[in-house]
Structure 1
Amino acid sequence: MRNPNSQTHALEIFSSHLMPARPDAIPVLQLGEVDCGFVIWWRADKLGEGVEAQLYASINAHLGYVDQLIASGYSQVVLTGAVPPTIQDGQDWGEIANMRREVTTSIAERTELTHRYNALLKNGAQNRNCPFVDITPALLDPATGVLADHYRSDDPNDHHLHSARAGKLWAEALNRIEASAAT
């Protein structure tokens, strides 16, 4: 929502499809690794504000959008945790990694910020009676505490999670929400 390099204008596109509220839809808001792995750090550096200030500004923007969706008439909005960073320390390939080269924070620090971000999102979801899904614990390598190689894309130039392996975790987590709503 606050990506300075957004090429897609995704927020405007999503909003045009989500509002006014559609009675047959339940929005699921998925943040990418870019939110904690790049934007907060980049804005803190470029704007001269601390990471902490950017963390809360990002959370407030995200939860503010959730509030807009609820106010527009959605009875339920599902929030998901941001996924852990995928770009490893010193990685030097592709346009995305090159754009993020300006952020020199280690993957361990970026992962720790993701944990903090997700805890704040979970709290925000609970305060709004919204379901919250976070698959981060399943994605991490217990030995390193960062994203397990198993969940990285097989394409070394792709900074996204492995779609089938991570997709299975997302499907299971989202299905648990549906199952608990039915009971």
Structure 2
Amino acid sequence: MRDWYFIGDSHVQSFEVAAALRLLNRKARCLLVPGATSIGLRNPESQTHAVALFKEALLPALADAIPVIQLGEVDCGFVIWWRAQKHGDCVERQLADSVAACAAFVDDLLDAGYPTLVLTGAVLPTIRDGQSRGKVARARHEVTATLRQRTELTHRYNARLRHEAEARGLPFVDITPRITDPESGLVAEEFRNRNPRDHHLEPVRAAEVWAEALNRLDLPP
């Protein structure tokens, strides 16, 4: 049976936890690049060099692996807003550019010979309005978008990413309905990290939800 090969930003740690707890129905390999973005996939000279690292790991195509791509939280929580402010551009255009960059990367992997791969939705933002505690919160302080605005943008990003996956006949996994508070429409408190300085989801709960969603996929061995 082929392994899951999880690549993406630091939120890949949820899959690392799932693998460590043996929640997944396949063996797992993980490559996380903190700060990696979808928009950065079109630039091999990006600050994180993420696309170069991902391609080095995944190309030429591995016969024993199914790539799983987890990106977008950094885009929706910071980069899209920052680029729109910096360039005087609209948020929707920056959103479209981020999704297009991710789709182009997917096409590169498919063209290289992967018969399938899994796209995952960006996780919901957790940094509260006005929050200054934590390294990531401080780094993103230039962006004034509210938590609700960032959450709504994440939903739009995921809807577009789902469309790109469906257009290519690829599975798409999105856990946002499972981790959303139905009353507030924001990330549910039980999925917030117990460390208020940590913007990642609560590790074990997130791992359980991701594993359940991935294990339901009907993919060839």
Correspondence for 1:13: 53
1:99 aligns with one of 139, 152, 159: 139
C-alpha distance in 1, partners of 2:209/2:47? 28
Greater CA drift, 31-40 or 154-163: 31-40
**Structure 1: gaps of 5 or more residues:** none
Determine the C-alpha separation between the residues in 2 that align with 1:138 and 1:163.
Answer: 15
Q: Deviations over 1:96-146 (max 9, x none)?
A: 111111111111111111111111111100000100000001111111101
**Cα deviation digits, residues 25-51 of structure 1 (max 9, x gap):** 110001252121111111111121110
The runs of at least 4 consecutive aligned structure 1 residues that moved more than 3 Å come to none
* Counterpart among 39, 45, 70 of residue 2 in structure 1: 39
Partner residue, 2:198: 158
**2:48, 2:92 → 1: CA distance?**
27
User: Which residue does the alignment assign to 1:61?
Assistant: 101
Structure with more of its chain in helix, by fraction: 1
Partner residue, 2:161: 121
1:33·1:86 contact (CA, 8 Å) conserved in 2? no
Does the CA contact (< 8 Å) of 2:135 and 2:197 recur in 1? Answer: no
Aligned residue for 1:82?
Answer: 122
Higher strand share: 2
**Ranges in structure 2 where 5+ consecutive residues have no aligned partner:** 1-37
% identical equivalent positions: 55
Distance change >3 Å, CA 129–CA 73, structure 1 → 2: same
Deviations 1:46-71 (A, max 9, x none): 12111011000000000000000000
Secondary structure of 2:216 counterpart: helix
Equivalent position SS for 2:145: coil
State the one-letter code of the partner of 1:22. Answer: L
Structure 1 residue 156, shift from structure 2 partner? 1.2
Count of residues in Structure 1 that have an aligned counterpart in Structure 2: 180
Q: For residues 107 and 64 of structure 2, what CA distance do their matches in structure 1 show?
A: 19
